[in-house]
Amino acid sequence: MKFAVIVFPGSNCDIDMYHAVKDELGEEVEYVWHDATDLSQYDGILLPGGFSYGDYLRSGSIARFSNVMSEVVKAAEEGKPVLGVCNGFQILLEAGLLPGAMLRNQGLKFICRPVELEVVNNETMFTTSYQLHERITVPVAHGEGNYFCDEDTLKQLEKNGQIAFRYADDNPNGSLLSIAGITNKEGNVLGMMPHPERAVDGLLGSADGLKLFQSIVKHWRDSHVVNA
């Protein structure tokens, strides 16, 4: 499986994402600059964390107009897995690939520490390697991760099983329903504030994030066997 790590001016977790895929997952991966106009050669798209365009105006609001985003939208519409982590999640929200918005953390402080998550839905292409309600440890590092949406959207997220991860006991940023990660209705776009790419090896304090990437590869391989 071949992944693209999209790099925006201000991305700072692109190397972490690349390392997780190449060295821990053992799959092919390339950096792709934000002005790219063709992602057709890639099987999966990864939007890393950081501060795209300095987070001016609003986190992700400028990056969503980058040339590459029209290709990210196209990939999502084709059913390819698209993962946005931290700033990548914010960009997916700004681009309309996921519903809702991000507010400043409830405590108005930048948070950087490991947190415990609950796997709410283990039937998505990103979560099949987890057990339902499994608790995993993954770090967060953000100042604007307070997920918010209107009441109707929240009901739809619950009804459609789009909430993939919740903060288990400690909601660090005030997100509605302790939401840490959501998918689109089709289930092939995931946005999450915690960083699974920083939890892919025991030396990092946790390897719980590796299962997320393994789930993507397993789904891709299974679907290609079926279609062969």
- Boundaries of every domain in the chain: 2-227
pLDDT digit string (tens) for 33-83?
Answer: 999 999 999 999 999 999 988 887 778 888 888 999 999 999 999 999 999
Dihedrals phi, psi of 6, to nearest 5 degrees: -75, 130
- Alpha helices, H only, the chain: 14-19, 67-77, 87-94, 151-159, 210-227
From the candidates 13, 71, 197, 219, give the one annotated as an active-site residue.
197
From the candidates 86, 94, 144, 149, give the one annotated as an active-site residue.
86
Annotation says 19 is catalytic: no
Which pLDDT value is given to residue 57?
A: 75
Q: Which of 98, 93, 121, 117 is nearest to 173 (CA)?
A: 117
Which pLDDT value is given to residue 33?
A: 96
Confidence of residue 227 (pLDDT cuts 50, 70, 90): low
Which pLDDT value is given to residue 224?
A: 80
Annotation says 195 is catalytic: yes
Of the chain, the percentage scoring pLDDT greater than 70 comes to 98
Single pTM value for the model = 0.96
Q: Place domain 2-227 in its CATH homologous superfamily.
A: Class I glutamine amidotransferase (GATase) domain (3.40.50.880)
Annotation says 224 is catalytic: no
